[in-house]
Homo-oligomer: A and B are copies of this chain.
Amino acid sequence: MKLKRWTTRPGDHVEHIGEHGDAGGAPLDTNTTTSSSEGLRYTRTHLGLHPHAPIAEEHDATKYSSLWWSKVRLALREPFAEFFGVMILVLFGDGAVAQVLLSKGQTSAPGGDGYGNYNAVSWGWAIGVMLGVYIAGDSGAYLNPAITFTNCLLRKLPWRRFPVYFLAQFLGGLVAAGIIYGNYVNAINAYEGHGVRTVPPSPTATAGIFCTYPQAYMTKASMFFSEFIASTILMFTIFALKDDTNNGVSQGGGNWFPLGLFFLIFGIGACFGVETGYAINLARDFGPRLMSYALGYGHEVWSAGGYYFWIPMVAPFCGCVFGGILYDAFIYTGPSPLNTEWLGLKDVVHPRQAIDERLRVQRKEGIV
């Protein structure tokens, strides 16, 4: 039983990180602290980049484990966290676009020029990510398949978590887009005309509320590059924000992470958002795109921009992996495949062997 293994294995290396955290009360009674609580303390510090988020807490497991719903929750705790994290992310993000777009130029608004400008879109996505991290802490708060993937690759997050997280993240985006549609359906009718639903470059297009569409002047290569570079910056900076060995990061790193992420996402929106709408996240783009297709926006949601839709699905993976490698190669000093012999290329040459090795280690640590 994996929970057992979590709580009974001897204190692993992360204990020491725990000890000098904010907590501090530990010095005299470290020996009374169980290893499981140590493990959980560690998680709090390494939010979002932790190789293995905790699966259960003691009081949860012991006290309520006999209730049916508690069992379900225990089994699905992490997918639930990712689902609601991405849902909040997309609710705020898509909500911001909807509000700004649908109230364009409305003179009865305070100020006489609509309920927000592009700046509010940057605010919305940045707040969504920040609050999503607060909500999804139990799963590690990845909220983005490309970030989950890069953490599997470079930070030893077990690969078998990837498909589950992926599904939860995708569904979170899908559901959130549906809620936004339900909330703004009257405004969309008032803006486009009753029942009319169009996709850019239609002048009254509202499909941009849900997912991203590229500027008309963009070439396919430029679209890809734009998403790639934004994703690279995203992963590079997140790795920096989570890197305890980087002197630039605050001592109470975990506390500052959501705020740092707010500024990062705001910056990407304000500085790299014009060309392709900074999707940088399959869950944030594909889920809502599918929902908008289901809601009647037509086949153009796929064909617009020369079948642009696959770029925000693929480019974030490439960009995040590249950004992660860049960080590990030039800044990171902790354990990364790039800091091992052959610069990690051994894994590429003998992938089977690398996977076996990793699985062996993970099984030994009881975290798969």
A260 → chain B closest CB, angstroms: 7
Q: Indicate if the CB atoms of A130 and B251 lie closer than 8 Å.
A: no
Chain B residues within an 8 Å CB radius of A20 = 17-19, 21, 23, 25
Q: Is the CB of A245 within 8 A of B57?
A: yes
- Chain B nearest CB from A13 CB (Å) reads 10
Per the bound structure, the CA–CA distance linking A240 and B88 in Å amounts to 12
Contacts of A264 in B (CB 8 A): 127, 131
Beyond A138-B247, A250-B255, A255-B256, 20 additional pairs, beta carbon < 8 A: A22-B22, A22-B23, A22-B252, A69-B343, A70-B339, A91-B271, A92-B271, A93-B271, A99-B272, A103-B274, A104-B112, A115-B273, A117-B118, A141-B248, A183-B225, A187-B275, A190-B215, A250-B252, A250-B254, A251-B255
Q: In the complex, are the beta carbons of A330 and B73 less than 8 A apart?
A: yes
- Check: A246 CB closer than 8 A to any chain B CB: yes
Contacts of A122 in B (CB 8 A): 116, 120, 123
Name which of A103, A122, A189, A340 has the most chain B CB atoms within 10 A of its CB.
A103
Distance from A209 Cβ to chain B, minimum over Cβ atoms (Å): 8
B138 touches A331 (CB 8 A): yes
Find A22's partner among B21, B29, B123, B240 (CB 8 Å cutoff).
Answer: B21
Residues of B near A60 (CB, < 8 A) are 333, 339
Are B249 and A252 in contact, with the CB atoms below 8 A? no
| Residue from B101, B215, B263 in contact with A110 in the complex, judged by beta carbons closer than 8 Å | B101
Smallest CB separation, A272 vs chain B (Å) = 5
Q: Among B21, B116, B222, B225, which residue has its beta carbon within 8 angstroms of that of A23?
A: B21
Question: Is A30 positioned at the interface, with any CB of B under 8 Å from its CB?
Answer: yes
The CA of A330 and the CA of B77, in the complex, are separated in Å by 7
CB distance from A88 to the nearest CB of B (A): 7
Chain B CB within 8 A of A294 CB: no
Least distance between A180 CB and chain B CB atoms (Å): 9
Out of B69, B80, B205, which one reaches A331, CB within 8 Å?
Answer: B80
Interface size, A (range): 35 or more
Cα A87 to Cα B275 with chains together (Å) = 21
Nearest-neighbour CB distance to chain B for A239, whole angstroms, equals: 9
A73-B330, A245-B57, A251-B17 given; A30·B27 CB < 8 A = no
CB–CB A186/B331 < 8 A: no
Count of this chain's copies in the oligomeric assembly? 4
CB atoms of B267 and A128 under 8 A apart:
yes
A21 CB to closest chain B CB, in angstroms?
5
Decide: B251 and A23 in contact? CB cutoff 8 A: yes
Contact A116 B118 (CB under 8 A): yes
Q: Can you report 16 residue pairs joining A to B where beta carbons are below 8 Å apart?
A: A23-B24, A23-B26, A60-B333, A69-B338, A99-B271, A103-B274, A104-B110, A104-B112, A108-B201, A110-B117, A111-B118, A116-B119, A120-B270, A189-B217, A190-B217, A252-B252
Is A237 in the interface zone, CB < 8 Å from B?
yes
Chain B residue nearest to A326 (CB atoms) is B84
The reply to whether B96 and A270 contact each other, CB–CB distance below 8 Å, is yes
A153 partner residues in chain B, CB cutoff 8 A: none
B222 near A185: Cβ-Cβ < 8 Å: yes
A308 shortest CB reach to chain B, Å: 14
Residue of B nearest to A104 (CB): B112
Q: Considering the chains assembled together, what is the distance between the CA atoms of A99 and B270 in angstroms? A: 7
Task: Knowing A21-B22, A246-B134 are in contact, say whether A127-B233 is a contact too (CB < 8 A).
Answer: no
Tell me which residues across on chain B come within 8 A of A190, comparing CB atoms.
215, 217
The reply to whether the CB of A102 lies closer than 8 angstroms to some CB of chain B is yes
